[in-house]
């Protein structure tokens, strides 16, 4: 983390799905770089405590948000506009990923995944657009995944479709919003060692994933936060309509036995 935080001084940021994990790392990094933060999440207790840890209400605020709902997306944006005088950065990181084979996915489950992951992306972009247009400036950042756009696995048909859809939306929004001084980009994380993965996956599973990654480790939430910071800063001012893959090289090998001196 920078010892001289300055890249986001004077900026206000909304981080959806920001109570913990990747979203929490992004919100924390943005705050350390000088931004005022609205943390939006369905987890009220965790989100309230985390926002409080980032500073007083003049520095960070929490708003309970189901990003699949239009009114909630608009309320989250309004929190930044009302209390911080505008909104410069939007990060939509909220996502759900139930494991269900396609033959067993019920329409309600399909709709729920699309609602949070894909509809939520569109809703928060639409909600933030008027304030960003008025300012002539904006950074929209969406958490996609390598799952869907590049690879997939059984049980993730709906998740894969939602994340591939996010990549398509990024391109369309980048084109439509470019004239307003707004950039639209995404991040495609690989396997990230979050609290959820530690709690829900065995040590053997995690070791197997590490063995499939050329850099030899799973990613950390901070690895994603670093990419998000770049896309949120003025250093990325000539980049729009694309994604950054942050996967330790996981999607590179043609076969499982990829190391130069395999044992």
Long-range contacts of 233-237 (CB under 8 A, 24+ apart): 233/7, 233/8, 233/33, 234/7, 235/7, 236/139, 236/183, 236/185, 237/183
CA distance 77 to 14: 7
In a domain, residue 255? The reply is no
pLDDT for the residue 49: 98
CA distance 52 to 207: 35
User: pLDDT of 158-184, one tens digit each?
Assistant: 999 999 999 999 999 999 999 999 999
CB 193 within 8 A of CB 150: no
What are the start-end ranges of the E strands in 168-241?
182-189
Residue given tokens 């009302």 in the structure block = 82
In a domain, residue 209? The reply is yes
pLDDT for the residue 104: 98
What is the tally of structural domains in the chain?
1
Six-digit token string for 181: 């001084």
- β-sheet bridge partners, residue 141: 91, 185
For the domain that residue 240 is a member of, what is the CATH number? 3.40.50.720
Count how many residues are written for the chain. Answer: 263
- Quote the DSSP letter at residue 147: B
CA distance 154 to 23: 26
User: pLDDT of 217-250, one tens digit each?
Assistant: 999 999 999 999 999 999 999 999 999 999 999 9
Query: Is 238 annotated as catalytic?
Result: no
Task: Say which of 137, 159, 180, 238 is annotated catalytic.
Answer: 159
Q: State the average pLDDT over residues 194-202.
A: 81
In a domain, residue 80? The reply is yes
CA distance 185 to 175: 11
In a domain, residue 219? The reply is yes
In a domain, residue 32? The reply is yes
pLDDT for the residue 258: 76
pLDDT for the residue 116: 98
User: pLDDT of 68-125, one tens digit each?
Assistant: 999 999 999 999 999 999 999 999 999 999 999 999 999 999 999 999 999 999 999 9
Six-digit token string for 52: 């409080």
Give the ranges where 43-98 is alpha helix by DSSP (H).
Answer: 44-53, 70-84
pLDDT for the residue 201: 80
CA distance 205 to 46: 27
pLDDT for the residue 255: 82
- β-sheet bridge partners, residue 13: 37, 89
In a domain, residue 88? The reply is yes
In a domain, residue 212? The reply is yes
| Domain of 106, in residue numbers | 12-245
In a domain, residue 65? The reply is yes
Mapped onto helix, strand or coil, the DSSP state of residue 11 is coil
């Amino acid at each position: 983390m920078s010892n001289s935080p300055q890249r986001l001084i004077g900026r206000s940021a909304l981080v959806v799905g920001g109570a913990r994990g990747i979203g929490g790392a992004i919100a924390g990094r943005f705050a350390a770089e000088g931004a005022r933060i609205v943390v939006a999440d369905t987890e009220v207790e965790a989100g309230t405590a985390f926002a409080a840890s980032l500073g007083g209400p003049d520095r960070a605020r929490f708003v309970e948000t189901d990003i699949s709902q239009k009114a909630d997306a608009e309320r989250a944006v309004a929190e930044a506009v009302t209390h911080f005088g505008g909104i410069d950065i939007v990060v939509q990181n909220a996502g759900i990923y139930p494991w269900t084979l396609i033959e067993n996915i019920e329409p309600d489950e399909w709709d729920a995944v699309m609602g949070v992951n894909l509809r939520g992306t569109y809703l928060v972009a639409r909600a933030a657009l008027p304030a960003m247009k008025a300012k002539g400036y904006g950074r929209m950042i969406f958490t996609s995944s390598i799952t869907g756009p590049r690879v997939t696995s059984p049980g993730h048909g709906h998740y894969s479709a939602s994340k591939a859809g996010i990549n398509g939306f990024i391109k369309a929004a980048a084109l439509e919003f470019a004239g307003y001084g707004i950039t639209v980009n995404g991040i495609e994380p690989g396997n990230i060692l979050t609290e959820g993965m530690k709690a829900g996956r065995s040590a053997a599973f995690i070791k197997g994933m590490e063995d499939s990654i050329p850099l030899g480790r799973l990613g950390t939430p901070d690895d994603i936060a670093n990419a998000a910071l770049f896309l949120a800063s003025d250093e990325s001012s000539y980049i729009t309509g694309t994604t950054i893959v942050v996967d330790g090289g996981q999607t590179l090998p043609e076969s499982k036995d990829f190391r130069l001196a395999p044992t």
